[in-house]
């Protein structure tokens, strides 16, 4: 793999850019691998990368029924933060945020990480108390965050309306080292690094069955033939329940659509991310100038990747109250992703009833921000059988009642 650098760009400019290699190899499946990972989104690719980097496990196949990064990884609003309430959540999200800071250098691929800061508005007294609690919890967890007054909110984001017709802005939970990254670049960077380690990334390869013998996984059946493996990782977000059914167990999750949209591009007006939970909307501005907008999840289970008008109407109406200037903008694109929700709004990173089969799911609306930390912890779980980052997120917590309640801190969709 050629190293990307300013010198490489200059050299290729002189050669009319004819010397660039493919970012990752187009691979055909082998008969057997040490590890098979189902799902070539951010979490699956990050898991494969850290299996190779941290544990030297490179005989790995990442299977994707569609195209690489074509699921939720390419359909989110790119927010990265770690100011969660519960200790296990703060640990894995802060690990992820810290990995994002150096990920471009680690992968030799520009993921366009922008630590522009994330602000979560408090628009009721109940939210003020809740965010003050979170700020105190984050201080104990070593996560840098703070509660700021309305005047500071206006200084950070001048276009905001502090005196909304329904809810005034009473303050905000502010994390200045949070931010955004380019979602496609995260997937592409991990894929390029995995391919360079000799791993096979196989697209257009749908898993149709999971083979087992004596309660232990033996391999998968795919549209490109049978593949044997020692260990299997299921990392398929909204379709986790479908794959779990193939493996013979059930998951305590539900799949719903989460929608987002972008406006036409405009000149820079906003250099942070603002989340408004009470009125159900959040917004940032992309590097291309588009206003990136998201809101609540659908209220019914579905597998659609399209939007629905009533959600767009509700989200835009809420954000027009908070940012009156956007009322004059036109919508450019509108889409949906399939998110998988657990009852406590926290993920599952766990062994399963099927021996040597592992599951990574239940991230809800917080999946993108967790990609590096999720991959780090899940790779450790698969390689060693346990990981401090994932220990509290096991499937057994639902049987034992050890829930990790993030129904408020998880964001506006919850």
245-299 pLDDT tens trace: 999 999 999 999 888 999 999 999 999 999 998 888 899 999 999 999 998 788 7
Topology classification of domain 118-179+255-342? D-Amino Acid Oxidase; Chain A, domain 2 (3.30.9)
Provide the token pair at 228. Answer: 């044997």
What Rg do the C-alpha atoms of the chain give, in angstroms? Answer: 21
Q: Measured between alpha carbons, how far is 135 from 321 in angstroms, rounded to an integer?
A: 26
pTM across the whole model: 0.95
Query: By C-alpha distance, which of 37, 64, 11 is closest to 381?
Result: 37
pLDDT (average), residues 82-111:
96
What pLDDT score does 409 carry? 59
Q: How confident is the model at residue 410 (pLDDT cuts 50, 70, 90)?
A: low
Torsion, Cα 149 152 153 157, to 10 degrees, reads 180
How is the chain split into domains, by residue range? 30-109+183-253+344-400, 118-179+255-342
pLDDT of residue 408: 60
- Cβ neighbours for 270, distance < 8 A, ≥ 6 positions apart: 157, 159, 283, 284, 285, 291
Other CB atoms within a 10 A radius of the CB of residue 362 amount to: 27
The average confidence (pLDDT) of the chain is 93
pLDDT, tens digit (0-9, with 9 covering 90-100), for 39-93: 999 999 999 999 999 999 999 999 999 999 999 999 999 999 999 999 999 999 9
Query: 168: helix, coil or strand?
Result: strand
pLDDT at 308: 76
pLDDT of residue 90: 96
138 Cβ neighbours under 8 A, 6+ residues apart: 83, 90, 144, 145
What is the Cα–Cα distance from 374 to 50, expressed in whole angstroms?
10
By residue count, the chain amounts to 414
Residues in a beta bridge with 180: 79, 114
Q: CB burial class (10 A; 0-12, 13-18, 19+) of residue 85?
A: buried
User: Residue 340 and residue 239: Cα distance in Å, rounded?
Assistant: 8
In the CATH scheme, what is the homologous superfamily, with its name and number, of domain 30-109+183-253+344-400?
Answer: FAD/NAD(P)-binding domain (3.50.50.60)
How many CA atoms are closer than 13 Å to the CA of 183, on its beta-carbon side? 21
Nearest CA-CA partner of 244 in 200, 212, 204: 212
Pairwise CA distance, residues 377 & 393, whole Å: 11
Summarize pLDDT for 139-163 with one digit per residue, the tens.
999 999 999 999 999 999 999 999 9
Phi and psi angles of residue 146, each rounded to the nearest 5 degrees, phi first: -155, 155
Exposed, middle or buried: residue 328 (CB in 10 Å: 0-12, 13-18, 19+)?
exposed
Q: Which residues of 180-203 are buried (b: 16+ CB within 10 A; e: fewer)?
A: bbbbbbbbbbbbbbbbbbebbbbb
341 token code pair:
């929700």
Distance CA 95, CA 389 (A): 9
Closest by alpha carbon to 257, among 364, 343, 182, 355?
364
């Amino acid at each position: 793999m050629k190293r990307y650098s300013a010198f490489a760009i200059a050299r290729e400019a002189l050669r009319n850019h004819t010397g660039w290699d493919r970012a990752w190899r187009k691979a055909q499946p082998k008969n057997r691998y040490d590890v098979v990972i189902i799902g070539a989104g951010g979490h699956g690719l990050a898991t494969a990368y850290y299996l190779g980097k941290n544990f030297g496990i490179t005989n790995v196949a990442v299977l994707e029924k569609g195209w690489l990064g074509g699921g939720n990884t390419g359909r989110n609003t790119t927010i990265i933060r770690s100011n969660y309430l519960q200790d296990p959540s703060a640990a894995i999200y802060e690990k992820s945020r810290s990995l994002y800071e150096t990920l471009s250098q680690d992968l030799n691929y520009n993921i366009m990480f922008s630590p522009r800061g994330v602000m979560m508005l408090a628009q009721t007294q109940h939210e003020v108390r809740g965010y003050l609690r979170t700020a105190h919890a984050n201080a104990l967890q070593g996560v840098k965050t703070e509660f700021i007054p309305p005047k500071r909110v206006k200084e950070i984001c001048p276009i905001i309306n502090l005196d909304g017709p329904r809810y005034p802005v009473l303050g905000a939970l502010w994390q200045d080292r949070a931010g955004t990254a380019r979602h496609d670049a995260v997937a592409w960077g991990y894929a390029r690094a995995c391919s360079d380690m000799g791993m096979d990334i196989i697209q257009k390869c749908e898993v149709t069955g999971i083979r087992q013998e004596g309660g232990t996984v033996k391999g998968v059946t795919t549209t490109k033939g049978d593949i044997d493996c020692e260990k299997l990782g299921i990392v398929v977000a909204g379709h986790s329940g479908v794959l779990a059914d193939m493996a013979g167990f059930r998951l305590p999750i539900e799949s719903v659509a989460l929608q987002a949209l972008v406006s036409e591009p405009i000149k820079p007006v906003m250099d942070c991310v603002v989340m408004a939970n009470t009125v159900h909307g959040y917004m940032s501005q992309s590097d291309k100038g588009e206003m990136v907008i998201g809101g609540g999840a659908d209220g019914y289970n579905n597998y659609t990747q399209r939007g629905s008008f009533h959600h767009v109407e509700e989200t835009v109406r809420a954000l027009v109250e908070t940012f009156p200037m956007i009322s004059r903008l036109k919508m450019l694109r509108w889409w949906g992703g399939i998110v998988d929700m657990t009852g406590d709004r926290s993920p599952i990173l766990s062994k399963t009833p099927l021996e040597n089969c592992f599951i990574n799911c239940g991230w809800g609306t917080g999946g993108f921000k967790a990609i590096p930390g999720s991959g780090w912890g899940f790779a450790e779980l698969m390689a060693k059988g346990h990981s401090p980052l994932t220990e509290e997120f096991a499937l057994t917590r639902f049987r034992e009642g050890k829930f990790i309640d993030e129904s408020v801190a998880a964001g506006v969709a919850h």
